[in-house]
A and B are shown apart, each in its own frame.
Chain A
Amino acid sequence: MRVVVIGGGIVGNSLAGWLTELGWTDLVQLDKGPFPNPGGSTGHASNFIFPVDHSKEMTQLTLESMRQYREAGTLHECGGIEVARTEERMEELRRRLASAKSWGVDDCRLVTPAEIKELVPFVDESILLGGFYSPSVAVVDSLRFGTVMREKAQANGAQILANTEVEGIDVEDGRVRRVRTTRDDFDADVVVIACGVWSPRVAQMAGASIPLTPAVHQMIDVGPVPRFLDSKTAVDYPIVRDMDTNMYERQDGQGLEVGSYAHRPILHEPGEIPSIEESALTPTELPFTQEDFELQLEHALELVPEVLGDESVGIKYAINGLLSLTPDGLPLLGETPEVKGLWSAAAVWVKEGPGVGKSVAEWMVHGEPEIDLQSSDIARFYPEQRTPQHVKGRAAEGFNKTYGIVHPGEQWESNRGVRVSPFYEQEKKLGAVFYEAAAWERPHWYASNAPLVEEYGIEPREHEWDARWWSPIINAEHLAMRERAAMFDLTAFCVFDVVGPGALDCVQTVAARQMNVPDGRVVYTPVLAPSGGFKSDLTIMKMADDRFRVVTGGAHGMVDMKWFADHCGPDAHIEDHTSAHCTVGLWGPRARDILSSITGDDVSNDGFPFATWKMVDVDGMEVLASRISYVGDLGWELYVPFEQGAKLWDAVWEAGQPHGVVPAGIGVYGTTGRLEKAYRAFGFELDQDYDVVEADMAWWKVKGEDFVGKEAHLAAREGEPAAVCSTLTLTGSKRFPLGREPIVRADGSPLVDAKGRRSYVTSAGMGPSLGKYILMTYLPPGDHGQLYVQYMEELQPVTVEVVGSRPPFDPDNERIRA
């Protein structure tokens, strides 16, 4: 395997080192700049690392990176404090404490203003309410670490070239073949773009897109600071993140660095970054724009008046440093969907660089990284999410959230309304509150259902945070569905067909369950990674021997589509039907009454059993009806071509009136309905860290045919699961955990399974028909005594409702099979 790694920043160096360690030694690494600092964002990075993030994936990458920095002797632990000026921030810090415990960072604690003063004597603690202290926060030498990795690659046989600019990337038959540079042409089977802010420009040479935008992060260096003159190390004092002003202050030798994410978003074009020759400093250290920093100076002065108020301390260096921002704030990793063999390792910051290097190298060499990179997979974007308008709109919006208090349900505001279903106008009339999924507008609940809240006696949530991005209408819609019937807009599904004589081979390889089934069957199946963890879960309709229709969630659909495409032999291919079909979901005890009133076809239980699909006639339309359910009630997914959608909606709506049908949003579909049924969701309960047996989704017999992850799956069935996905309930609590909180014992100690994984809330939401608040989690076997969920700093007792997948509501599935 001949590899070219383009880029010599923290990512390219880490990757080159790791790839050669894993055996891919026929490697060329190049950069257009000189080593050790070729002039990209690594060169001016602040180099500090706070380990705790609300995202499990990012925390895992960061912890792995810290391990590598430490092992290379390039990490200096100095501690760090995220300080709060407001009560709202203190709440966020308490939530951060919970995330720290969930992800296994145990040394963190909340500190009082007095304790902050003791740790960082130059702050004015009188403006603070408290802080979140992480003793393991560290400063790293990312340039030195990069050199270590580059030299490792070189020692393993790699060829390293500085001052070598890429002029073209040749692609033949959809596969990358060659990198042309100012020095030489390099044939390659695999090319990795690790070019930071330049990545989009380089990807474009191969006809691929890397949707990031260079953006400015302002920072200044002041000094010399009298207090630091006798410092023994470069950083004697903990780094302070002034979260409420989006700023940080860190000692750097005799100086203090002040950085900001508070200023207006200043975005640049990757093609407009100055060349190395033209740059006064480096291409990513642009001239400082003082006017954008004025307010920040005042904020910083408030917090560290001793240093910044000192007239003898001068501003010695000030830059607009470029860094990479993406539409959703996450890195862009993996093989590009456009070009085989062309990989992206971009939009990665110093804090996760080495971890990303290792993970992407594993992914390339072994086909799967040890850390699940599902959120960072570059294949996740739909075409409309790669447009400059989307990338810039979201990046600008996301920039000021860098230190923000981001609610898990928080919605984006920019570039909305890009994809709308054919029922959009009807939904608007019903007062739909739209959330976004995969650029689609999807009703989350309907204002028109407000009267149901009183009818069902739904209590509001007392606490603003718990009630934010939520409505009691969701629970009311749920109960109306369970009592009558509800209509859902499921158009955001990603729908694609695997077609051709080799279609069965492809779906058999990808799907864990038996796909050689009669026409008309609908199969819900896990999709496994080679290690046996979850790559996805989805349904497949057998249409014909040479056609299988895959229906999967919008959020992960593009990644799933690539995974199937990657497993298509020469006589199978993928047809994307996502924008060809729209979907109405109809569920509830009256669903059959409604459907049978508008079709002459047999929709009885015998004539149309569960887990099958067929075409039915509705009001002059041919409707594909699929009898499955993610909400645990009798009903169908109804598919028609997009242009017939509005008519289908109206037909079902009118037929539903005598039966009391209500429109219901994704609040029911994605949370209350599924949680009552203990249905797992990909990205929540299901990820690569857990296997099918642990998810308690193992079916009675494993098919004889080979499939990805089979060996691991068979092995998992032999042993005892280290943890089992379980349903907990919370009763009598005034607070409502929203997910990711740790499950702990009475003494607050975390539950850790035999594989070192901690129990945390994978999903949380009301079960209105149960009258209980539901938390899903993985529990290790054994008696743990009374268990608690740690919400903020408080422990709320929970009841273990079910260990395993048996639904707490309608456990025998009488409803869906009615």
Chain B
Amino acid sequence: MRILVCVKRVPITGGKMVLTDDAQALETKHLGFTISPHEECAVEEAVRIVEAGVAAGTAGEVVALALGPSEAEEQIRDCLAIGADRGILLETHGEEWDAQATAAAIVDAIRAQEPFDLLLFGNESADAGGYQVGIRVAHALGLPVVTGLKKIDVGDGSVRCERDVGGARDVYEAPLPAVLTVLEGLNLPRYPSVPGRLRAKSKPLEVVEPARPAQRLEKLRLVVPEGHGKQAEILGEGPEAAPRVVEMLQALGVA
């Protein structure tokens, strides 16, 4: 089983969002970078599928692909640390690529590789949130695509997937190869181990510089919505605080 997982380097936000002066990007000088929780689950799922295959005697490979600046190597190495076998970096020069351009570059990269059995994406990126790249890649390659998945079972030549729909689940079956986009909660991703980290350093990483096509989506500016950021209210200290805590829990409807 050969699986491709596509990931995107995004800033780790936790506190108040600060924009650059031109409002074109997040100010990231104090921020670390990661991939989205959806993508973490995609990588974990891919690694599990291949690990299970290997345990059953079938060879397999997980390839992690990112389109982004050279620093995105860090995110690919993170994927390699938890078990992906090799990486492909579609290196940009820091500028943003819209969903069409991104999908096109990924499609070109995929065509240059041996065919994959499964192509996994996060349902949407953590920053731009376009919800498009997986679908566009599937369309371009003429593959079936199922989105928003919370469960994946790979069978012989096909994959069975489940998606939450308001208290129930849709169940799909698609022939392989297929494109799947997944959601956080699909699994509980592992932390990298130290040996995994060390192995990741020497795993192969191929760097490709795709040409950036004309963008068809124009970003005007970013706006931070009101009320974002940490909000904490101290209800009190010690046992005296208990009545206020109860009051608050009742107001929130959880008690």
Binding site for B on A (CB under 8 A): 34, 162, 222, 274-281, 286-288, 290-291, 294, 297-298, 300-301, 308-316
CA distance A291 to B31 in the complex (A): 16
Given A274, A277, A281, A300, which contacts B194 in the complex, CB threshold below 8 Å?
Answer: A300
Q: Evaluate whether A313 and B15 lie within 8 angstroms (CB atoms) in the complex, with A280-B32, A298-B198 already known.
A: no
From residue B26, how far is it (CB to closest CB) to chain A in Å?
11
Contact status B193-A274, CB under 8 Å: no
Residues of B within 8 A of A291 (CB): 74
Residues of B within 8 A of A276 (CB): 15, 230
Contact status B33-A287, CB under 8 Å: yes
Residues of A within 8 A of B232 (CB): 34
CA distance A314 to B191 in the complex (A): 5
CA distance A222 to B81 in the complex (A): 14
Chain A proximity mask over B73-90: 1 for CB below 8 Å, otherwise 0:
010010000000000000
Chain A proximity mask over B178-207: 1 for CB below 8 Å, otherwise 0:
000000000000111111111001000000
Contact status B193-A312, CB under 8 Å: yes
From residue B23, how far is it (CB to closest CB) to chain A in Å?
16
Contact status B234-A311, CB under 8 Å: no
Q: Evaluate whether A287 and B194 lie within 8 angstroms (CB atoms) in the complex, with A278-B18, A279-B15 already known.
A: no
B230 to chain A: closest residue by CB? A277
Closest 10 CB pairs of A and B: A314-B191, A287-B32, A280-B14, A277-B16, A274-B30, A308-B194, A278-B15, A311-B193, A279-B15, A278-B16
CA distance A279 to B74 in the complex (A): 21
CA distance A281 to B230 in the complex (A): 11
Contact status A315-B197, CB under 8 Å: yes
CA distance A310 to B196 in the complex (A): 10
Given A287, A288, A309, A316, which contacts B195 in the complex, CB threshold below 8 Å?
Answer: A309
Chain A proximity mask over B3-34: 1 for CB below 8 Å, otherwise 0:
00000000011111010000000000011110
B189 to chain A: closest residue by CB? A314
Q: List 25 interface pairs A-B (beta carbons < 8 Å), by A numbering.
A: A162-B234, A277-B229, A278-B30, A280-B12, A280-B31, A286-B32, A290-B74, A290-B197, A291-B74, A294-B198, A297-B197, A300-B194, A301-B194, A301-B195, A308-B193, A308-B194, A308-B195, A309-B194, A311-B195, A311-B196, A312-B193, A314-B190, A315-B194, A315-B197, A316-B191
Residues of B within 8 A of A162 (CB): 234
CA distance A308 to B15 in the complex (A): 32
B contact patch SS: loop
CA distance A286 to B29 in the complex (A): 11
From residue B204, how far is it (CB to closest CB) to chain A in Å?
17
From residue A357, how far is it (CB to closest CB) to chain B in Å?
22
Residues of B within 8 A of A313 (CB): 193-194
Residues of A within 8 A of B33 (CB): 287
Q: Which chain B residues numbered 51 to 86 have a C-beta less than 8 Å away from chain A?
A: 74, 77
Contact status A287-B15, CB under 8 Å: no
CA distance A279 to B19 in the complex (A): 14
Given A279, A290, A300, which contacts B30 in the complex, CB threshold below 8 Å?
Answer: A279
Contact status B191-A310, CB under 8 Å: no
Q: A278-B15, A290-B77 are in contact. List 14 more A-B contacts (CB 8 A).
A: A276-B15, A278-B30, A279-B14, A280-B13, A280-B15, A287-B33, A288-B32, A290-B197, A297-B194, A298-B198, A311-B196, A313-B193, A313-B194, A316-B191
Q: Which of B13, B15, B77 has the most CB of A within 10 A?
A: B15
Residues of A within 8 A of B194 (CB): 222, 297, 300-301, 308-309, 313, 315
Residues of B within 8 A of A281 (CB): 14
Contact status A315-B191, CB under 8 Å: yes
CA distance A144 to B17 in the complex (A): 32
CA distance A275 to B229 in the complex (A): 12
A298 to chain B: closest residue by CB? B198
B234 to chain A: closest residue by CB? A34
CA distance A286 to B74 in the complex (A): 17
Residues of A within 8 A of B14 (CB): 279-281
Contact status A287-B31, CB under 8 Å: yes
Residues of B within 8 A of A297 (CB): 194, 197-198
From residue B122, how far is it (CB to closest CB) to chain A in Å?
20
From residue A316, how far is it (CB to closest CB) to chain B in Å?
5
Q: Which of A222, A300, A314 has the most CB of B within 10 A?
A: A314
Residues of B within 8 A of A308 (CB): 193-195
Q: Which of B12, B193, B229 has the most CB of A within 10 A?
A: B193
From residue A13, how far is it (CB to closest CB) to chain B in Å?
15
CA distance A793 to B232 in the complex (A): 57
